[in-house]
Amino acid sequence: MRKQRKTIFLRALAVLAATPVLMFGFAGGPDPKNTGAPGDTTCAQAGCHVGTPNTGPGSITITFPGGLTYTPGVKQRVSVTVADPTARRWGFQMSARLASNERSAQAGHFNTLDTNTQIFCEDGLPISGAQACRAAAPLEFIEHTESGTRRGQANSGTFEFEWTPPAAGAGNVSFFAAGNAANNNANSDSGDRIYTTKVTLTPAAAGPKPSIGAGGVVNGGSFQAGFAQNTWVTIKGSDLASGTRIWVGSDFVGNKLPTALDGTAVNINGKPAYVYFISPTQLNVLSPVDTATGNVSVEVVRDGVKSDAVTTVKNAFSPALFIFNNDKYIAATHANGSFLGPTTLFAGLTTPAKPGEVIVLYGTGFGPTDPDFPDGQIIPAPGLLRNTVTVTFGSLAGEVQFAGQTATGLYQINVKVPDAAPDGDIPVTATVGGVQTQSSALISVQK
């Protein structure tokens, strides 16, 4: 249903007033097509906030993190700031169009990040997430919400959201935005100021093509072939990313994990993985929640350029225990959180386990939990494994006291070391769903 907010009085005002006006700054967001773009309602044709556009002391600016270029298909954040020293309430509407057809060709797709913005198609229907407008009404408009107007806030209002550019070959993209710097005088629209702007982005030159090495997709715990859903995966190759870093707080949107870092993304079985670490030669990602098993494709996308896809095996279970940086000892802790290992492993930090002690093992790929693990989100609370886990110390069975997911993609097993465990380095394996963790993982025991 089209948003109908115009009154008969305002329609008459738009026709009779000598001063140009703009139908824009409704507190709940304007009707579509009020951005100043070709084919949109012009300032002299609409009616709501009275005033001549771009005559006040303020402005509307659009900020892109990568400057005035875009990488085809690579999502980026966009900021729109409406500023005016006299204003106390804020609003905007923006549209992205192909420069080759600014009147009717949509360019890319918007996505909201918070409750300050909302998206409507040109027919007035709202959309969200991966939804697209109807082919008969393809243009998208992102605009403020009631909460986004931030009543009483002085000097400026900023709106942040995401924009996914069109695929390669689309050419330049034009952004049209109109902003309302309102004086917050409740029932009167006089004194509000309208500002408009246009910014054009050009497609960036294609970067190097990433390449996944032979056997380069492995379980991130065991570094062996095969993984499962919600499993940490390591990918090795060349030209995988432009730099080296891990995810940080600004990469998250609420509790959602990032699907790309600095233009590098990974698709597993056609679904986006969640990117934790990037470097030119190695990526660490969390596989998406996807019950498909068997041969699946993996591809790396760097700045819009895709690697050749490789085929690897995805299993229902692919348990692995994390290892300290020596490819030998399990990354385990005592119950008090201190590191477990021979005293020579990390001098002053590690001590061996004792027979009869409860220790904590950490791993990945242990399968579904109850409640289900949410796809691509920080888990709100630990979830118990649905399938029974057994742990052996050499030939001796350990007593598992807890097995579940305690952090995103991270499984924790609290297990009692057998009373009869001998001194020395002991191989430890965990089994779930009939699949065993790597046989080379050790812990150190000392009575």
Percentage of the chain modeled with pLDDT above 90: 76
161 is a domain residue: yes
Residue with tokens 């790309």: 260
Residues 291 and 388 both lie in one domain? no
Tell me which of 191 and 156 has the higher pLDDT. 156
Confidence of residue 419 (pLDDT cuts 50, 70, 90): very high
Residues 156 and 16 both lie in one domain? yes
217 is a domain residue: yes
Please give the tally of structural domains in the chain: 3
Residues 354 and 270 both lie in one domain? no
Of the three residues 255, 289, 314, the one that is the final residue of a domain is 314
Using an 8 Å Cβ cutoff, are 55 and 212 in contact? Answer: no
CATH number for the domain that contains residue 386: 2.60.40.10
Neighbours of 134 (CB within 10 A): 11
pLDDT tens column, 195-218: 999 999 999 887 899 999 999 999
Residues 124 and 44 both lie in one domain? yes
Beta partners for 26?
A: none
pLDDT tens column, 273-307: 999 999 999 999 999 999 999 999 999 999 888 99
Q: What is the largest CA-CA distance in the chain?
A: 95
Using an 8 Å Cβ cutoff, are 161 and 78 in contact? Answer: yes
Question: What is the pLDDT at residue 24?
Answer: 36
Question: What is the pLDDT at residue 189?
Answer: 58
243 is a domain residue: yes
Residues 329 and 405 both lie in one domain? yes
Confidence of residue 190 (pLDDT cuts 50, 70, 90): low
69-73, 96-100, 246-250, 403-407: lowest mean pLDDT where?
69-73
Whether the model pTM is above 0.85: no
Distance CA 242, CA 231 (A): 25
Question: Per-residue pLDDT for 46 more than 80?
Answer: no
CATH number for the domain that contains residue 173: 2.60.40.4060
Of the three residues 314, 340, 364, the one that is the final residue of a domain is 314
Residues 71 and 146 both lie in one domain? yes
2 is a domain residue: no
Number of H helices, E strands in the chain: 1, 38
Residues 110 and 54 both lie in one domain? yes
Residues 25 and 101 both lie in one domain? yes
Query: CA angle at residue 142 from 139 to 143, to 5 degrees?
Result: 135
122 is a domain residue: yes
Tell me which of 222 and 72 has the higher pLDDT. 222
Residues 184 and 224 both lie in one domain? no
244 is a domain residue: yes
Residues 75 and 52 both lie in one domain? yes
Query: What is the average pLDDT across 245-273?
Result: 92
Question: Per-residue pLDDT for 1 more than 50?
Answer: no
Which residue range(s) make up the domain with 99? 8-203
Residues 437 and 298 both lie in one domain? no
Distance CA 283, CA 67 (A): 26
Question: Per-residue pLDDT for 139 more than 70?
Answer: yes
Query: What is the average pLDDT across 107-111?
Result: 95
Question: Per-residue pLDDT for 8 more than 50?
Answer: no
Confidence of residue 21 (pLDDT cuts 50, 70, 90): very low
Query: What is the average pLDDT across 128-135?
Result: 87
Query: What is the average pLDDT across 368-387?
Result: 91
Tokens of 252: 């998250």
Of the three residues 314, 340, 365, the one that is the final residue of a domain is 314
Q: How far is CA 49 from CA 61, 105, 124, in A?
A: 20, 28, 20
19 is a domain residue: yes
158 is a domain residue: yes
Residues 275 and 341 both lie in one domain? no
Question: What is the pLDDT at residue 50?
Answer: 54
